Structure 1
Amino acid sequence: MPTASVNGIEIDYLLEGEGERTVVLVNGLADEKETWAYQTPALLEAGYRVLTFDNRGVGATSKPAGPYTTELLADDTKALVDTLGITDFHLLGVSMGGMIVQEYALKHPADLRSLTLACTYAAPGPFCSRMFSMWEDLAPVMGVPFVMRDVTLWAFTLDFFRTREDELAEFETGMKHLNMPTPAYLAQLSAIQTHDTTARLPGLAVPTLVLAGDEDILIPTALSHDLHELVPGSRWETTRGGHGCVWEHPDDFNTTLLRFLTEIERTTP
């Protein structure tokens, strides 16, 4: 995979497709760029170029000492797209990625044709804060793969556990072999614990879709709706599934996303 030396680190990335317009996809906590395996083919088929990359702290990207912030991770993203010469693009982030792209859009709105905030929040609030505090305590003692076993329980719906045993086993195996040392995990975890754009989002001036899994219990759907209400003119949509709706029901997620992108392309010069 190619790498780019930006913002003091090496970022491992993949740029695919020949389309004139690019979609930049930003991962969640502890997720590598392969997270988007269910979205990239649909976007390529629709005629887009697609940029995926490993955030600071995970996969083949550098893992400097933390803690990290969502603003720092947004600065990494900005440095990468600038180095690759990508402009006037669609930006999508899921979970922690949704927090990172909020910071990006607030700092660099002129770069963007659209913004999609998926399964994310403006601030963690008392519920998520307590959950993340537990992960922070568990990771140094039990290791990151153990914490990711807990994340799996929160990410998928009951139906997924009942009917899709083979896929579940694949996800669990992938989490066992996650390329992320505990200090890097805690550095990323700090970013989602401290993220708070509540006071600034009313000034966001980018066409925005806020999209949530209708059964999300990890970042409750209500928190995503609170985010939607903070962003002027944003569109609110839900899709089948929980926090892992990008994997559990990718066709539904992709259809909703592509409908939004198509409307932006039709109405934006």
Structure 2
Amino acid sequence: MPVAAVNDIEINYRLEGDGPETIVLVNGLADDLTTWDYQVPALLEAGYRVLRFDNRGVGRTSKPAGAYTSRMLADDTKALVDRLGVTDFHLMGTSMGGMIAQEYAINHGADLRSLVLSCTYAEPGPFCSRLFKGWEELAPVKGVPFIMREVTLWAFTQDFFETRPADLAEFETEMAAMPWPVEAYLSQLNVIQRHDTTDRLPGITVPTLVQAGEEDILIPVRLSRRLCEAIPDAEWATTRGGHACLWEHPQEFNAALLQFLTKHRRADSPAG
């Protein structure tokens, strides 16, 4: 896969399709660009060009020391799209990626045709802050594979655990096998611990959809709803599943995403 040298790091990315409009996908905490494997085929079939990449600190992208912030990673995204000449694009972020996308829309909103924020918040509040503090304390002791395996308890629904054990085992194996140093994990964890756009959300003027898994307990649905209500004219949608609804029920997730994107395609774009 190609690599772009920007902002003193190398970003591993994948650009697929030849459609007239591009959607840029931004991953969550500890996830690389394979996060979107269940979405990319549907987006390509609908006629979009798709850009996805490994955030700073994960996958094949550089992992410099130091605490990261959502603004820092938004500026990495900006540098990447500028390097690739991507303009007037749709931006989609899930979980931590949604926090990065908020910062992008606030600081670089003129680049965007639309914005989708999935399973994310404007600020963590006391519940999420306590949960993430626990991950911060456990990671140096138990290791990142242990944390990643335990995250499935928060990411998937009880129905998934009860009815799809083979799928669950596959996800847990993949997540626990990520070769990720503790320092890089903690650098990214800082993003979701410190993120706060609460007072700046009225500055988002691009058409926005806030989406949540209806059973999300990792980032409670009320926090996503609160985010939606703070962004002018933002639309709201829920789909089946929990925090990992994009993996648990990808067809429904993709349908909601494409329904929103279709409303904001350029007039000269073919119908998806």
CA distance in 2, matches of 1:252, 1:219: 19
CA distance in 2, matches of 1:165, 1:101: 33
CA distance in 2, matches of 1:83, 1:48: 19
Aligned partner of 1:131: which letter?
Answer: L
CA distance in 2, matches of 1:109, 1:67: 25
> Residues 58 and 179 of structure 1 are in contact (CA less than 8 Å); yes or no, is this contact kept in structure 2?
no
1:27 corresponding residue in structure 2: 27
The Cα offsets for residues 23-73 of structure 1, whole Å up to 9 and x where unpaired, read as 000000000100100000000000000001000000000000020000000
Secondary structure in 2 aligned to 1:200?
Answer: helix
The Cα offsets for residues 172-229 of structure 1, whole Å up to 9 and x where unpaired, read as 1111211321000000000110000000001211100000000000000010000001
2:205 corresponding residue in structure 1: 205
1:139 corresponding residue in structure 2: 139
Distance change (3 Å), C-alpha of 1:217 and 1:85: same
| Farther off after superposition, 257-266 or 95-104 | 257-266
> Residues 67 and 186 of structure 1 are in contact (CA less than 8 Å); yes or no, is this contact kept in structure 2?
yes
Secondary structure in 2 aligned to 1:15?
Answer: strand
Pair 1:118 & 2:151 matched: no
Aligned partner of 1:231: which letter?
Answer: I
User: Could you list the runs of 5+ residues in structure 2 that have no partner in the other structure?
Assistant: none
CA distance in 2, matches of 1:169, 1:186: 25
> Residues 6 and 76 of structure 1 are in contact (CA less than 8 Å); yes or no, is this contact kept in structure 2?
yes
CA distance in 1, matches of 2:88, 2:145: 38
> Residues 55 and 73 of structure 1 are in contact (CA less than 8 Å); yes or no, is this contact kept in structure 2?
yes
1:179 corresponding residue in structure 2: 179
CA distance in 1, matches of 2:66, 2:127: 24
Runs of 4+ in 1 over 3 A off after TM superposition: 266-269
1:232 corresponding residue in structure 2: 232
Secondary structure in 2 aligned to 1:5?
Answer: strand
Secondary structure in 1 aligned to 2:198?
Answer: coil
CA distance in 1, matches of 2:265, 2:55: 28
Aligned partner of 1:191: which letter?
Answer: V
CA distance in 2, matches of 1:161, 1:127: 23
Pair 1:43 & 2:43 matched: yes
CA distance in 1, matches of 2:42, 2:93: 16
Aligned Cα RMSD in Å?
1.1
1:16 corresponding residue in structure 2: 16
Q: Identity over the aligned pairs, expressed in percent?
A: 69
User: Could you list the runs of 5+ residues in structure 1 that have no partner in the other structure?
Assistant: none
CA distance in 2, matches of 1:100, 1:231: 15
The Cα offsets for residues 130-163 of structure 1, whole Å up to 9 and x where unpaired, read as 0000000000000001011121100000110011
CA distance in 2, matches of 1:21, 1:175: 32
Alpha-carbon distance, 1:266 to partner: 6.3
What are the within-5 Å matches in structure 2 for residues 1-269 of structure 1? 1-265=1-265
TM-score (norm 2): 0.97
CA distance in 2, matches of 1:268, 1:200: 33
CA distance in 1, matches of 2:267, 2:240: 27
Alpha-carbon distance, 1:267 to partner: 7.2
CA distance in 2, matches of 1:243, 1:268: 35
Aligned partner of 1:90: which letter?
Answer: H
Aligned partner of 1:122: which letter?
Answer: A
> Residues 24 and 92 of structure 1 are in contact (CA less than 8 Å); yes or no, is this contact kept in structure 2?
yes
Aligned partner of 1:156: which letter?
Answer: F
Alpha-carbon distance, 1:268 to partner: 9.9
Aligned partner of 2:3: which letter?
Answer: T
